[in-house]
Structure 1
Amino acid sequence: MKEILQVKDIEKYYGNKGNVTKAINNISFNVEEGEFVGIMGPSGSGKTTLLNCISTVDNVTTGNIKINGKEITKLKSKSIEKFRREELGFIFQDFNLLDTLTAFENIALALTIQEGKKAKNIRERVLEVARKLDIEEVLSKFPYEMSGGQKQRVAAARAIITNPSLILADEPTGALDSKASRLLLDSFEKLNEEMKATILMVTHDAFTASYAHRILFIKDGRVFNELIRGNDSRKEFFNRIIEVVTLLGGDTNNVF
């Protein structure tokens, strides 16, 4: 299986000589094409810094990161925007939709930027993805006319529309109620299983994490533990996740 993401011996420091914080401490892992991987850890563990480094928002201090064979730690600033546009899809907790565009226009925007894309092909692609995520009925609506769950599924459609090598999701259910969270996570399963999307998701929530194939637990900037779902049901995997969260000192009363 092709490795889409390769993280090797990365470290990240903040501060100056008198006050240095080590946010990431020698982390290495790979993500294969078609995997759905979750990253969990308590507040301040380094999971958001790790995602920022992978997404090219931040730079590592030492180590290497490759996405689809490209060494991103050596990308020049003028190449980063093109790389993000072609290789990465993003799903944020606060949706990040453009208020002045309809759902259709928000999803189609990334395709319109690409050269050689005809309007007919863009429309067909948007409708195809919208059907997969059950958001056809909101395509003509503006963000203020949609629920939080609908906005997040539109954001998921926007992330997959260009067939990126890797989708990065940062606390995607953080602003959603339990029903909307389930619908979004069902959409993630469709993206992963039917559209072969490779997903790396940061979450503090054990129920959300139970949808992934594999979980990396981060503590004090290191990979503390790893769980592989295997043939477990989602409920069985959830219970195993809770055991590790307890070891990490997490709050198991706020996992749904």
Structure 2
Amino acid sequence: MKNILAVEKIEKYYGNEENMTKAIDNINFEVREGEFAGIMGPSGSGKTTLLNCISTIDSVTTGKIMINDKDITRLKPKELDIFRQNELGFIFQDFNLLDTLTSYENIALSLTIKGEKVENVDEKIRSVATYLGIEDILNKYPYQISGGQKQRVASARAIVTDPSLILADEPTGSLDSKSARLLLEKFEKLNTDLNATILMVTHDAFTASYAHRILFIKDGKLFTELVRGNDTRKEFFNRIIDVITLIGGDDNDVF
């Protein structure tokens, strides 16, 4: 399988010459097509900065980021807008749904922005809604549904355009344990059945245990990585806890 994402020698600096902070320090890694990968690290480790650079929200100081064989660090603003619409799907911790639109309309919005043909919109929405188990809430507004349902609507909005790479930033951070488990099971299904490529940032070991590979970031550098292989999810969870303990994760990383 080909690389969907290739991060090559990237560095990110903030500040000026008198007060310079190196948020990312020479990070290199790849994510293959159909892979479910995670990024973990203590607060201030650089994991969010890394995701922001990959998602084109922020830019790198040096190095390059290849997504589907295109160097996004060289794209101009208008080119980036088109690239995001066609290649990336975003899932945020706080859902980012529009309160004045129904679930159906929130999902449709990403297709409209992309310029999808009108005759294809309904079929695409209902197909992904069935897959994520939200068919019965398509006509409801965000205030009428639970947090877990909101995140599944947000997930539907992210994948309905069939992006090359789905970027999830703390997707279970606002969910209770039952809703989080259900969402993660849906992620697994998307990855396994639809070959969706997912890169997820999380501080939570339980959430991370659903991924197939975890990259650990410490002090802006790639510290180590774990591959799940033939481990059960529980076995992988325990290995993740061992690394978190080693690098000094946040107090709630083990829960």
TM-score with structure 1 setting the length: 0.97
> 1:251: Cα distance to partner?
4.2
Amino acid at match of 2:156: A
Aligned equivalents of 1:157 and 1:215: distance in 2? 24
Partner of 2:62: 62
Q: Distance in 2 between matches of 1:116 and 1:201?
A: 27
Which residue type is aligned with residue 109 of structure 1?
L
Contact 2:68 2:164 in 1 (8 A): yes
Tell me the distance in 2 between the aligned counterparts of 1:245 and 1:239: 10
Shift of 1:116: 5.2
Written as runs of structure 1 = structure 2, the 5 A alignment for 1:86-101 is: 86-101=86-101
Alpha-carbon separation, structure 1, partners of 2:251 and 2:237: 11
Deviation of 1:217 (Å)? 0.2
Alignment of 1:64-143 (within 5 A): 64-115=64-115, 117-119=117-119, 121-143=120-142
Give the distance between the partners of 1:178 and 1:134, measured in 2 at CA: 18
Report the AA paired with residue 167 of structure 2: L
Give 1:112 shift. Answer: 2.0
How has the CA–CA distance of structure 1 residues 205 and 31 changed in structure 2, closer, same or farther, with 3 Å as cutoff? Answer: same
1:214 is aligned to 2:208: no
Corresponding letter in the other structure for 1:86: N
1:138–1:146 CA contact under 8 A, matched in 2: yes
- CA contact under 8 A between 1:45 and 1:219: conserved in structure 2? yes
Structure 1, unpaired ranges of 5+: none
Work out the CA distance in 2 between the residues paired with 1:255 and 1:162. 35
Moved beyond 4 Å, runs of 4+: 251-254
The structural deviation recorded for 1:115 is: 3.3
TM-score if structure 2 supplies the norm length? 0.98
User: Partners in 1 of 2:9 and 2:212 — Cα distance?
Assistant: 23
SS state of the match for residue 12, structure 2?
Answer: strand
Matches of 1:57 and 1:102, distance apart in 2: 27
Shift of 1:110: 1.4
Q: CA offsets per residue over residues 77-117 of structure 1, 9 Å max, x none?
A: 12111110110000000000011110011111111233351
Q: Is the 8 A contact 2:5 2:66 kept in 1?
A: yes
Q: Tell me how large the CA RMSD over aligned residues is.
A: 1.0
Distance, in Å, in 1 between the alignment partners of 2:247 and 2:230 is: 24
SS at match of 1:193: helix
Q: Distance in 2 between matches of 1:90 and 1:158?
A: 8
Structure 2 vs 1, CA of residues 138 and 116 (structure 1 numbering), >3 Å: closer, same or farther? closer
Assess if the C-alpha contact under 8 Å between 2:43 and 2:250 holds in 1.
no
Contact 1:88-1:165 within 8 A present in 2 as well? yes
Q: Which residue of structure 1 aligns with residue 32 of structure 2?
A: 32
In structure 2, distance between residues paired with 1:178 and 1:253: 14
Alignment partner, residue 240 of structure 1: 239
Instruction: Percent identity, please.
Output: 72
Aligned-partner Cα distance in 1 for 2:254–2:189: 23
Q: Which residue of 1 aligns with 2:14?
A: 14
Conservation of the 8 A alpha-carbon contact between 1:245 and 1:252: no
Taking the aligned partners of 1:253 and 1:134, their CA distance within structure 2 comes to 30
Cα pair 1:6 1:67 within 8 Å, conserved: yes
Asked whether the equivalents of residues 111 and 160 of structure 2 are also in contact (C-alpha less than 8 Å), the reply is yes
